[in-house]
Amino acid sequence: MSDLKKIRDEFISKLKGKLDLAELNQIKSDLFGKNGLVSSQFKKIATIDVSERKKFASDLNIIKDELHDLINLKINEIEKANINEKLEKEKIDVTLPERSFVRGKIHPVSQTIDEISSIFSEIGFSVEEGPDVENEYNNFTALNTPDNHPARDMHDTFYLDEKKERLLRTHTSPVQVRTMLKDKPPFKIIAPGRTYRSDSDQTHSPMFHQVEGLHIDKNINMGHLKGCLNYFIKEFFEVKKIKMRFRPSHFPFTEPSAEVDIGYEIKDGKIIIGEGDQWLEILGCGMVHPNVLKNVKVDSTKFQGYAFGIGIDRLAMLKYGINDLRAFFDCDYRWLNHFGFDPLDVPTNYRGLSR
Amino acid sequence: MKITFDWLKDHLKTNLKEKNLLEQLTYIGLEVESVESLSSDNQLFKIAKIIKTEKHPNADRLKVCDVNVGEKELKKVVCGAANASEGLITIYAPPGAIIPKTNTKLEIAKIRGVTSYGMLCSESELNLSDESDGITELSKKYEKNIGKSYFSKSKSNLIDLSITPNRPDCLGVKGIARDLAASGFGKLIVSKEKKIKLKTKQTLKVKINKEKGQGCNAFGSCLIKNVKNTESPQWLKDKLISVGQKPISAIVDITNYVMLDINRPLHAYDADKIEKGIIVRNSKSGEEFTALDNKIYKLEKGMCVISDNKGVLGLGGIIGGTRSGTEFDTKNILLESAYFDPRSIRNTAKKLNLDTDAKFRFERGIDPLSIETGLKKAASLIQEICGGEVSKIDIQKIESYKTKIINFDVNSFENIIGFKISEKKIQRILTDLGFIIKKEKNSLKLIVPSWRPDISQQIDIIEELVRISGYDKIKTIDPIKDRSKSTLTQTQRLFHFLQRAIASKGYLETITWSFTDQSYNDHFREAGKEIKIVNPISSELGVLRNSIFSNLIMYMSKNLDRGFKDLSIFEIGPVFTGSNPGEQKTVVCGLSAGKKSRLSWIDKERNIDLFDAKRDVVQTLSEAGYNSDHFFIDSKTPNYYHPGKSGRIFLDLSKDKVAAYFGEIHPNILKKIDIKTENLIGFEIFLENLKLSRKTLKDQKLKFFVSDFQKSERDFAFVVNKDVEAQELISVISNVNPNLISNIKVFDVYEGENIPDNQKSIAISITIQSSEKTLNDKDLEKINNSIIEAVENKTGAKIRS
């Protein structure tokens, strides 16, 4: 029996026994280490007679592979068994609670403002802003509501001085005045923001939100106003059809003026917008009064257009089923959590306004 | 304005139903506020007399009254009114009656142990007036009607209209009828004036003083002698009651009736109580008089008063005085029908805080040409009911009414409204509304009716035409989806970005009022100006906020009281620096209370601290595009922060404007406010102080460079004096060789054993990488030495060996 065969048989039988990882590695080193049994046989190849050399080399390689594979197989088996044993010990109760994550929310009024801006953005309106503190001129006089006009009674105004020259704006309409004084026509803007009236009860809050709209260009008529609002209301309430009516009214800064009602009905205690035979007033609007255009130095023989004012809080209440206006400003954690929106829910045109 | 369909029918011929009427009123801009049914239940309210009163055994302020309601037995009624006294004739509501004001059904009830069968009603409870002080007092004349229903049978509902301030003409039933008729709802009945003989002369001299600011332009009057003032006849009483007015006496009722019917306020004086003559003049400062509401008014200079030799009789167009008021025994009366300037009326009424039906009408503008019509209508009714001789009418004027003329371009209608109506229809509508039309070449010359002070230019005519034609005829022109300007400005975009960035870090967005409680505000005002509201809704909301913290802390405290412990809230909105427009800043203000990982099975719980807030602020700013490597931070913060546990952030070393503050709220404030939480941490980001990048994101994205050469991390520990800040070390290190040093991280701060008392050890890990080659040991050694040398030289630190 050649040396090779001897080595093979000896180690095959050794490997059949129960060995641990260290023993296996020892065998591996005995065979294939620098001076291992198999390694030294390879060194011998050069000294063997040429006629036998080829056969010897071939046999050696076969034995080497055979032993090598067998050792690796054994090592793998043990490692696998080790992991399985470990896994058995590492089982954990996955029903335990996860690490806490605190979610922030966006206030429904902010969300509604973003929805409104998104809708009007589509039809070319840009957003303007104005200060919360206004002078008497911008809030009233420039808007064709001179001092001592009974229409001023409709606005319970907060004043900041005894002379009543500085006040908290009672509507967003002064932004119209500021915008038109600052730039040249055409104008196509919306102006959302805080507004104030010294009124406080179940349905009135001393602070609330309005969005003003203004579109001044050549040949803009009341039909455009109707079309614009019809589009807005449909988009905002995300309905295909809307029942809407214009009712004559009076605002000093628009003429003709209208109040706009939308149709609704109550189904199972929930309000359904756009259907039914009940009417709900949601906004005021009209054609900008020539006196206002004169006050802001716009030539009313060349330019004309419409303006509107919408209560944002009220829109939010209608859309999201909120009953109490006062709760908007009460900062009750539970309310904010319930009615607030995920900050990732940015109203956009392509994803839709709301989920 | 309250009307009934029945009353409207005095002026309007129509077969249409009330349902149609309500629709049509709203359709033409006379908005129906409410419709009240007076007919069904009001028969239950009985005229009654209190026979006996006793003090309630268990309540000091209550009385137990025995009331005669026209039945055999007296009713026992518990009543709290001070004027409930024996002999008083009043109005009794039995159990089952529905009280008009509150819409509640009365039941037999035990009041403090005494059973009350029904109720004695105040005028306000019956919607007769605003008088809620005490129960209704009826005159002795009602004695014979005890047990009878106070309200007469009426078929007509009470319709309450909300008349816009531009339409004084619709504060009379006739004006409403005219509008309805023009819109095709029935036909206006043109009533003929009743002929009345005016023989005698008006002998009481009237003079309007010509003085600056005279509020009276014209004063018409007539004397009616030898009248017998009485109770009004049933038709008149019914009419007034049907619209919620309380009948008083024939003369007063007639003047009220004429006012409500044709919007012509009148005033009746007891002529015998006027000394010599009437002088209409400006008041002198400090003049006093007792008005018909039994209040004494002290007048300022320049108010329009009707006076005689003895002094003020009344405030013109607002309220009469008791001295010259008519009574049941009045014999001779002077009837006034005047025109008062709306501005003057409004000024005076505002100063005296007075509101009356007459004032409401005069301040909106009364038909100046109705003086005579009104006098004649009232005088003939007085003569009919009270007898007497009517004098000729005297009208004193200091100014004449000028007819208003408008040239109306027929085409202007379509230009503004968007649809066309024929000239024929235009003429028909305007004629029905009382315009007189002269056709000219290219336009219509319109004479505006004297009762329409709101109409003065072409646009007013267009409004009338579209209002009467119907707003439903306006076409809907769909908007074009076209945008030539970006929707939001860069600042507005930043606002929305910050709002959602903060919310995404666990903060609930709140919106609180722009005003706040002065005492809370003072904690956060610093040197800022206090901006007071002259007429606040309550003293707790008396100032504009100088900081958002005052409101956030207030509401945080409320939420903690609700039992929530770990909260983060924020608001983005204005704070005010002055009382002029524009003196405001936009601030993102956040507030967190409590602990992190409270009651966690897995993480260690700890109090929330300033590094939580700092993370949220720095992260938000860097999300918004500001490079946090450039931030400069120091500890100079306003006094409402904990002086040692707060910081401010600048966007870069130029330290131009404060981008944000963060830190613990000062413990003194927590103590004063008595807020119960483990810790309270806040931050403020100042939107206007954040420089807007001139580069768009698109431009910034072009730069992308990374090195693939091997990087090395080296750790250093420096011992420095305690007052040296980590930022200083980082800044020194990053300047050693910005090309090679990329990441600097403080991973340990240590004070204590082995470190001298006034010093600390700061351990820093530094990443070193070249963009040109793999650094060898020599290169690394060199940079290590440079770092140590620079830190030691510039900060006085010593490398820890």
* pLDDT tens digits for range B167-208: 999 999 999 999 999 999 999 998 777 778 888 888 889 999
**Using CB atoms and an 8 Å cut-off, which of residues 300-329 of chain A contact chain B?**
304, 328-329
**Mean pLDDT lowest among A224-228, A318-322, B128-132, B226-230:** B128-132
**Mean pLDDT lowest among A42-46, A79-83, B416-420, B461-465:** A42-46
Which of B31, B480, B514 has the CB atom closest to A123's CB atom?
B480
Please give the average per-residue pLDDT across B116-141, as a whole number: 83
**For residues B40 and B433, what is the distance between their CA atoms, to the nearest angstrom?**
36
Q: pLDDT digits over B785-801, tens only? A: 999 999 999 999 999 87
* pLDDT of B39 strictly over 60: no
Ordered strands of the B680-686 beta sheet = B508-509, B567-576, B584-593, B680-686, B658-665, B641-650, B632-634
Cβ(B729)–Cβ(B688) under 8 Å?
Answer: no
Q: Which site among B32, B473, B477 would you substitute to test the A interface, given the most A Cβ atoms closer than 10 Å to its Cβ?
A: B477
**For residues A279 and A10, what is the distance between their CA atoms, to the nearest angstrom?**
101
Q: State the pLDDT at residue A12.
A: 85
- Would the CB atoms of A104 and B579 count as touching at under 8 Å? no
* pLDDT of B707 strictly over 90: no
Instruction: Quote the strand ranges of B552-656, DSSP E.
Output: 567-576, 584-593, 595-596, 606-607, 632-634, 641-650
Which of B480, B487, B564 has the CB atom closest to A126's CB atom?
B487
Q: Give percent of chain B above pLDDT 70.
A: 99
Q: State the pLDDT at residue B22.
A: 93
* pLDDT of B70 strictly over 70: yes
Q: State the pLDDT at residue B154.
A: 60
The confidence band for A315, taking pLDDT boundaries of 50, 70 and 90, is very high
- Would the CB atoms of B471 and A245 count as touching at under 8 Å? yes
Q: State the pLDDT at residue B95.
A: 87
- Would the CB atoms of B488 and A219 count as touching at under 8 Å? no
Report helix, strand or coil for B39. Answer: coil
DSSP, res A64: H
Q: How do beta strands A187-196 and A126-127 pair? A: parallel
Q: Which site among B179, B464, B474, B601 would you substitute to test the A interface, given the most A Cβ atoms closer than 10 Å to its Cβ?
A: B474
Q: Residue A101: its chain B contacts at CB < 8 A?
A: 506
CA-based torsion, B108, B109, B114, B119: positive or negative: negative
Q: Tell me the two tokens of residue B172.
A: 């009379």
**For residues B93 and B47, what is the distance between their CA atoms, to the nearest angstrom?**
9
Minimal CA separation from B328 to chain A, in Å: 36
Please give the average per-residue pLDDT across B472-494, as a whole number: 93
- Would the CB atoms of B555 and A331 count as touching at under 8 Å? yes
Which of A114, A131, A255 has the CB atom closest to B581's CB atom?
A131
Q: pLDDT digits over B734-751, tens only? A: 999 888 998 899 999 999
Q: Which site among B415, B465, B537, B681 would you substitute to test the A interface, given the most A Cβ atoms closer than 10 Å to its Cβ?
A: B537
Q: pLDDT digits over A116-163, tens only? A: 999 999 999 999 999 999 999 999 999 998 777 766 766 789 999 998
Question: Is pLDDT larger for residue A173 or for residue B42?
Answer: A173
Exposed e or buried b for every residue in B238-273, given b needs 16+ CB within 10 A? bbbbbbbbbbbbbbbbbbbbbbbbbbbbbbbbbbeb
**Using CB atoms and an 8 Å cut-off, which of residues 13-52 of chain A contact chain B?**
none
pTM: 0.84
Minimal CA separation from B578 to chain A, in Å: 9
Q: Report chain B's terminal Cα–Cα distance, integer Å.
A: 93
Nearest alpha-carbon partner for A309 in A187, A176, A211, A235: A211
Please give the average per-residue pLDDT across A176-180, as a whole number: 97
* pLDDT of B321 strictly over 70: yes
Strand partners, B4: B158
Q: pLDDT digits over B14-23, tens only? A: 999 989 999 9
Q: pLDDT digits over B412-439, tens only? A: 999 999 999 999 999 999 999 999 999 9
Secondary element (H or E) of residue B474: none
Domains and CATH numbers, chain B: 2-38+157-188 (3.30.56.10), 42-145 (2.40.50.140), 205-397 (3.50.40.10), 405-429+441-473 (3.30.56.10), 490-689 (3.30.930.10), 706-799 (3.30.70.380)
Q: What is the mean pLDDT of chain B?
A: 91
* pLDDT of B59 strictly over 70: yes
* pLDDT of B160 strictly over 80: yes
- What is the number of other CB atoms lying within 10 angstroms of the CB of residue B790? 17
Please give the average per-residue pLDDT across B39-63, as a whole number: 83
* pLDDT of B41 strictly over 70: no
The confidence band for A90, taking pLDDT boundaries of 50, 70 and 90, is confident
Strand partners, B90: B48
Q: What is the mean pLDDT of chain A?
A: 90
Taking CA atoms, B126 is separated from B101, B111, B558, in Å, by 6, 21, 42
**Mean pLDDT lowest among A65-69, A146-150, B218-222, B591-595:** A146-150
| B529 vs A: CB within 8 A | no
Minimal CA separation from A62 to chain B, in Å: 43
| Radius of gyration for chain B, computed over Cα atoms and rounded to the nearest angstrom | 40
Minimal CA separation from B15 to chain A, in Å: 24
Report helix, strand or coil for B87. Answer: coil
**For residues B645 and B697, what is the distance between their CA atoms, to the nearest angstrom?**
35
**For residues A87 and A95, what is the distance between their CA atoms, to the nearest angstrom?**
18
Residue type, A292: V
Phi/psi for B403 (5° steps) reads -65, 135
**Using CB atoms and an 8 Å cut-off, which of residues 209-238 of chain A contact chain B?**
219, 221-224, 226-228, 230-231
Q: pLDDT digits over B662-685, tens only? A: 999 999 999 998 898 999 999 999
Taking CA atoms, B500 is separated from A107, B92, B619, in Å, by 10, 62, 13
**For residues A32 and B209, what is the distance between their CA atoms, to the nearest angstrom?**
132
Q: pLDDT digits over B622-676, tens only? A: 999 898 989 999 999 999 999 999 999 999 999 999 999 999 999 999 999 889 8
* pLDDT of B595 strictly over 90: yes
Q: State the pLDDT at residue B40.
A: 53
Cβ(B77)–Cβ(B67) under 8 Å?
Answer: yes
Tokens 């014999």 found at: B331
Minimal CA separation from B236 to chain A, in Å: 31
Nearest alpha-carbon partner for B330 in B416, B270, B258, B249: B270
Cβ(A332)–Cβ(A317) under 8 Å?
Answer: no
Secondary element (H or E) of residue A263: strand A254-267
Please give the average per-residue pLDDT across B312-339, as a whole number: 92
- What is the number of other CB atoms lying within 10 angstroms of the CB of residue A108? 26
Domains and CATH numbers, chain A: 3-89 (no CATH), 108-339 (3.30.930.10)
Q: Which residue of A has its CA nearest to B351?
A: A148
Cβ(A220)–Cβ(A304) under 8 Å?
Answer: yes
Please give the average per-residue pLDDT across B341-356, as a whole number: 91
The ipTM, to two decimals, is 0.87
Secondary element (H or E) of residue B162: strand B158-162
Which of A150, A256, A336 has the CB atom closest to B165's CB atom?
A150
| B692 vs A: CB within 8 A | no
Q: State the pLDDT at residue B149.
A: 83
| B340 vs A: CB within 8 A | no
Tally of helices (H runs) and strands (E runs) in chain A: 11, 10
| A55 vs B: CB within 8 A | no
